[in-house]
Structures are given as structure tokens and as C-alpha cells.
Amino acid sequence: MTHTVVYEPEARDDLFDIYDFIAERADPVTAFHYVERIQSSCECLATFPQRGTAADDIRPGLRFVGFERRVSIALTVAGDSIRILRVLYGGRDMTNIDFESLES
């Protein structure tokens, strides 16, 4: 069964922030390709959504998938959709993120 991947607004904002961060330090082309690879990785979850590590202690159904050792993708799976909640770059402190308030 193939799932539909849906990005929450916070995850889209995270992708824009990652782009800006890399574009400032490298260049816009490098940033674009990096964000494109992150999105491709998210889209691959459609065929096997239960990847990654369960984090039910933070929020029931929450999972984290790593990307190229620098990004953590926070997601939930409900029915036939995968909701990308956040895309966290570079070892960001996740204690300040309220996963409970994000759409389920």
C-alpha cells in the first residue's frame, strides 16, 4: 500500500530555514539540492512508512527518521497518510518543540 506524504506548515518552514542556512554558508544551488534530497527521502516513506525510531514517549505515534546524519524528520502515520511534522537540522535541541500541538 502506498501512502500519501503530507507536510505540516512547520515542516515546510523548516525546509525553508534549512535552505536559507545552507545558501548563506555555501550557495543557493547547493542549498536547493540538499533540500530536494530531504524531500525525496520524505517521499520514499510512502512505500514503507514505519521506518525510523518510535518516540511514543514524546507523542503517541511519533517517529523519527534520520537523513544524512544531519537531519531528523519527525512524522506520524495515520491510515494511508504520512504527516511530516518537522524537519530538524543539525542536532537542534528538540526539548523546546511542542509535538503535541502539531496536527495529527
Euclidean distance between CA atoms 75 and 72, whole angstroms: 10
Model confidence pLDDT, tens digit, residues 16-30: 999 999 999 999 999
| Domain harbouring 69, CATH code | 3.30.2310.20
Boundaries of domain holding 17: 4-95
Residue 76 lies in a domain: yes
pTM of the predicted model, to two decimals?
0.88
Residue 100 lies in a domain: no
Model confidence pLDDT, tens digit, residues 26-77: 999 999 999 999 999 999 999 988 889 999 998 899 999 999 989 999 999 9
Residue 103 lies in a domain: no
Exposed/middle/buried for residue 83 (C-beta within 10 Å: 0-12, 13-18, 19+): buried
Residues 6+ positions from 99 with CB-CB distance below 8 Å: 58, 59, 62, 74, 85, 86
Number of domains within the chain: 1
